[in-house]
Amino acid sequence: MRLLAYLLVAIAVAVATGLGTAWWMLSAGPPFGAVHRGAWVTWPKAGRGDADPYFRAVEARRGVAPLGSGEGLTFLATRDDSGAPLDAACIYRVEGTMPPTRLWTLAASDTEGRGFDNPAGRVGFHSREILRREDGSFAITLARSVQPGNWLPLGSGPMLLTLRLYDTPLTESGVEDAKLPAVVRVACS
Amino acid sequence: MKRLALYLLGGLLLGGIIHIAVVLLVPRFATRDAYEALARLGPDDIFHAVPAQGTDGPIAGLDPRMAYAACRFSLAERPLHIRAPMTGDFWSAAVFDDRGNNLYSLNDRTAGRRDLDLVVATPLQLIRLRENPQPALDNAIVVELPMNAGFVLLRAFISDPTLEAEVRKALSEADCTAG
């Protein structure tokens, strides 16, 4: 009788720790291999066949198909440079220069990846349609209301910024030292 | 008490095994993963346009500035041969296996040409191809991948909304079972 009770306790502990830790490690993001650059995070191993099992499990649950090493690199930001969560009701400035890349796109969305509705139908910018300063740097203003210069319309709720670099040498090396644009909160109403 | 501690330790060890098993089995049993979800678009061996936006699309996290087409395939009977006219701007192609691993990818610059002509073969199929070279594959990029089934995802950049129809037309002409 005592043996049975001990066995049941052992099995309960096994199931609870096994499933619990698996769910915990898969629910946030891929737990290993992240490279943080300022507000941005990327998983350089995403597009290679040797991604770790945790990464594969997270990707399968989310139903995403990561960019391959021959295609480019995806950077995500859910917080600004000061560490505060991005809020689509605030005004932000994404400013600086991009790492070497043939083409980039920047999109603002809710955390599920849905773009914000706006009359202009603008969900992001790409590298060829952006207004630059004389030194090649740029500033994009993200706000709900119309802004001068590069304006990306926002909505409300938690926000995700997705920066995709296409055909970039960073997929081979140098992502740890890459210089990405700053994400600065300008104002919050 | 000592015995209970022993059982608890055993439970923790077993929990570790369960943890590993769950993590390894998730890609196999996930139903939202890209390979499973692409079956909703239609039959295999044909390229289907993949919506980049909206929550009910088969693949999450696609770039709204790109047009996409995907084709599910199997290497069980023959190698995969893809031909697509593609566009003069950035485009890329990626080969995923049925667990969602990105096994091979290339873009227009690495392909060195405007159109895509790609053959994916298992090691065994590649040996047979070398023994019986087919003239139709002379200009194709041939890739050896140890896989059974998966999908190919084509993406093409839409630099301006006015070019969208042209880009989508090029993708719609992609052939997943070229001769």
Q: Are residues B44 and B23 in the same domain?
A: no
Q: Note whether B53 and B129 are same-domain residues.
A: yes
The pLDDT of residue B153 is above 70: yes
- On the question of pLDDT at A66 being above 80, the answer is yes
Instruction: List chain A residues with CB under 8 Å of B102.
Output: 46-49, 51, 65-69
**Residues in Cβ contact with A107 at an 8 Å cutoff, skipping those fewer than 6 apart:** A115, A123, A124, A161, A162, A164, B63, B64, B65
Angle separating helix axes A53-62 and B2-29, nearest 10 degrees: 60
Assigned domain for B177 exists:
no
CB contact under 8 A, A26 and B16: no
Question: Tokens for B8?
Answer: 């608890």
Range of the domain at B26: 1-30
Tell me: pLDDT of B55 over 70. Answer: no
Asked if the structure places residue B71 within a domain, the reply is yes
Q: Given the structure tokens 């060829």, which residue do they identify?
A: A128
Q: Count of CB atoms within 10 A of residue A87's CB? A: 16
In chain B, whose CA is at the least distance from the CA of A75?
Answer: B61
The reported pLDDT for the residue numbered A119 is 81
The number of domains in chain B is 2
Question: Do B82 and B47 fall into the same domain?
Answer: yes
> How many angstroms separate the Cα of B83 from the Cα of each of A66, A70, A151, B89, B138?
22, 18, 39, 17, 13
Mean pLDDT of B28-39: 85
Residue bearing tokens 């919506």 = B51
Residue numbers in B near A25 (CB within 8 A): 23
> Three-state SS for A16?
helix
Q: Do residues B71 and B150 share a domain?
A: yes
Residue B144: which pLDDT band, with cuts at 50, 70 and 90?
very high
Rounded to the nearest angstrom, the minimum Cα separation between B84 and chain A is 17
Strand order in the sheet with A35-37: A35-37, A40-42, A72-77, A159-166, A103-110, A124-126
In this structure, what token pair is assigned to residue A141?
């203003």
Judged against a pLDDT cut of 80, whether residue B178 lies above it is answered with: no
pLDDT digits (tens, 9 = 90+) for A111-155: 888 888 888 778 889 999 999 999 989 999 999 988 899 999 998
DSSP secondary structure string for all residues of A106-162: EEEEETTSPBPP-TT---EEETTS----TTS-EEEEEESS--SSEEEE--SSBEEEE
Whether the Cβ atoms of residue A152 and residue A102 lie closer than 8 Å to each other: no
CA distance B172 to chain A (A): 20
CA distance A109 to chain B (A): 10
Q: Domain ranges in chain A? A: 1-30, 33-187
Q: Are residues B44 and B9 in the same domain?
A: no
For residue A14, give Cα distances in angstroms to A20, B6, B7, B13. 10, 13, 10, 7
Assign residue B82 a region: left if phi > 0, alpha if psi is -120 to 50, beta otherwise?
Answer: beta
Are B128 and B158 within one domain?
Answer: yes
Taking an 8 Å cut-off on Cβ atoms, the answer to whether B107 and A114 are in contact is: no
Print the SS3 string covering B139-157: CCEEEECCCCEEEEEEEEE
Whole-complex ipTM: 0.87
Residues 6+ apart with CB under 8 A from B135: none
Residue B165 binned pLDDT confidence (cut-offs 50, 70, 90): very high
* Encoded tokens for A117: 């509705």
**CATH class of segment(s) A33-187:** mainly beta
Q: Is residue B178 part of a domain?
A: no
